[in-house]
Amino acid sequence: MGQEHRRKAVVLFSGGIDSTTCLAVAKAEGFEAYALSFFYHQRHGVEVEAARRSAPALGAREHLVLELPLDRIGGSALTGHEEVPKDVPVEKMSDRIPATYVPARNTIFLSFALAWAEVLGAADIFIGVNALDYSGYPDCRPEYIAAFERMANLAIRETVEGRMRIKVHTPLIRLTKGEIIKRGLELGLDYSLTHSCYDPDARGLACGHCDSCILRKKGFMEAGIPDPTRYVRD
Annotated binding residues, written as ranges, equal 13-23, 197, 207, 210, 213
**DSSP string spanning 103-138?**
TTHHHHHHHHHHHHHHHHT--EEE----SSSS---G
Quote the CA–CA distance of 9 and 168 in Å, as a whole number: 10
Q: Which of 88, 108, 187, 225 binds its own copies (CB under 8 A)?
A: 108
Site string for its own copies, 61-100 (x = CB under 8 A): ---x-xxxxx-xxxx---------------------x---
Quote the CA–CA distance of 208 and 84 in Å, as a whole number: 12
Quote the CA–CA distance of 64 and 43 in Å, as a whole number: 20
Q: How far is the CB of 159 from its own copies (least distance, A)?
A: 8
Known binding positions for ATP: 13-23
Cβ atoms of residues 218 and 133 within 8 Å: yes
Rounded (to 5) percent helix, strand, coil in the chain: 40, 10, 45
Q: Which stretch binds its own copies (CB under 8 A): 141-149, 193-201, 213-221, 224-232?
A: 141-149
Q: How far is the CB of 203 from its own copies (least distance, A)?
A: 29
Cβ atoms of residues 215 and 133 within 8 Å: yes
- Which residues are bridge partners to 167 per DSSP? 124
Q: Which of 81, 157, 202, 226 binds its own copies (CB under 8 A)?
A: 157
Q: How many residues bind its own copies (CB under 8 A)?
A: 43
Planar angle of CA 55, 181, 175, nearest 5 degrees: 110
Quote the CA–CA distance of 204 and 44 in Å, as a whole number: 8
194 binding its own copies? (CB under 8 A): no
Q: Which of 49, 94, 111, 205 binds its own copies (CB under 8 A)?
A: 111
> CB-wise, 86 or 141, nearer to its own copies?
141
Q: How far is the CB of 117 from its own copies (least distance, A)?
A: 8
Q: Which stretch binds its own copies (CB under 8 A): 53-61, 156-164, 178-186, 218-226?
A: 156-164
Summarize as ranges the residues that interact with its own copies (CB under 8 A): 64, 66-70, 72-75, 97, 101-108, 111-112, 114-116, 118-119, 138-139, 141, 143-144, 147-148, 150-152, 154-157, 159-161
